[in-house]
Amino acid sequence: MYVRCYGCPLRAKPAFHDKTQEEIAVIDQMKSDHLRVAAGTEFIHPEQTDAELYTLFSGWAFRYKELADGRRQILNFSLPGDLIGLQAALLDKSLYGAVALTDAELCVVPRRRLFKLFEHTPNAAYEVTWLGAREEALVDENLLTAGRRNALERVAALIAALYKRAEQLDLVREATMDFPLTQQHIADALGLSLVHTNKTLARLRAQGLFRIADGRLTLLNPRAIARLAQYFEKEPARRPII
């Protein structure tokens, strides 16, 4: 069933900025569809020229690029509330693909309506830009990870970052969160081979920093993970959502 922006349960979370009824009305008008996609669905294709703009309503997704010979790099993961496809909507064509990692729901904003947003609701336009800047910040951090951290540190940094984001969305209970990534996803995100990722996870497991089982992640020693990863960034207390 369709979800209107009025009374949106995601928007109501304390992680997000409050909006007036008028602002929500504008966004509700911009929204053209509420999509449900199965895990594995690619909803933005590389080279696609007419990609829409999405807000992830539920589930996980990721963006990726790949080389002609098939080597794939995951650029970042998206959690509920994240905007996906701003780049694809603004530039002539999408330079990446976007895939649902789990079954997911997507709020669709047609790319053609984006400029209207800038014309009529500067506040919302500012927030779109803010979300774009934040996404870039995530990719910046991922580039630091791929370029300068070793395998152990990379895994720790990924775990630490995803945990913080889940925490902010109130998706953590008893230090445990859903964790739908396979080792192949982790490898593709960190610039490692699958086998080496597996062995790195085994080494970390032996250290007892965290536990991954049955699609769930439990953080056993957050301090040690942060120290190993040298990852100390904070999520902002509250952020926009479109």
Partner DNA sequence: GCTTATATATGTGTTTTGACATAGCGCGGA
Partner DNA sequence: TCCGCGCTATGTCAAAACACATATATAAGC
Q: Which residues of the shown chain bind DNA in the complex (CB under 7 A)?
A: 150-152, 182-184, 191-202
Give the Cα separation of 78 and 161 in Å (integer): 12
**Could you say which of 26, 86, 101, 177 contacts a copy of itself (CB under 8 A)?**
86
Q: Which does 133 bind (CB under 5 to 8 A by kind): DNA, a copy of itself, none?
A: a copy of itself
Chain residues 125-144 in contact with a copy of itself, contact rule CB under 8 A: 125-126, 128-130, 132-137, 139-144
In angstroms, give the least distance from the CB of 159 to a copy of itself.
Answer: 16
In angstroms, give the least distance from the CB of 3 to a copy of itself.
Answer: 26
Q: Which does 29 bind (CB under 5 to 8 A by kind): a copy of itself, DNA, none?
A: none
193 lies in the binding site for a copy of itself (CB under 8 A): no
**Could you say which of 5, 191, 217, 219 contacts a copy of itself (CB under 8 A)?**
191
Question: What's the token pair of residue 69?
Answer: 């010979």
**Could you say which of 1, 21, 147, 202 contacts a copy of itself (CB under 8 A)?**
147
In angstroms, give the least distance from the CB of 44 to DNA.
Answer: 20
Please count the residues of this chain forming the interface with a copy of itself, following the rule CB under 8 A.
49
In angstroms, give the least distance from the CB of 231 to DNA.
Answer: 16
SS3 string, the chain, reads CCCCCCCCCCCCCCCECCCCHHHHHHHHHHCCEEEEECCCCEEECCCCCCCCEEEEEECCEEEEEECCCCCEEEEEEECCCCEECHHHHHCCCCCCEEEECCCEEEEEECHHHHHHHHHHCHHHHHHHHHHHHHHHHHHHHHHHHHHHCCHHHHHHHHHHHHHHHHHHCCCCECCEEECCCCHHHHHHHHCCCHHHHHHHHHHHHHHCCEEEECCEEEECCHHHHHHHHCCCCCCCCCECCC
Question: Rule CB under 8 A: which residues touch a copy of itself?
Answer: 63, 65-69, 71-73, 75, 86-87, 90-92, 95-96, 115, 118-119, 122-123, 125-126, 128-130, 132-137, 139-144, 146-149, 190-191, 230, 232-233, 236
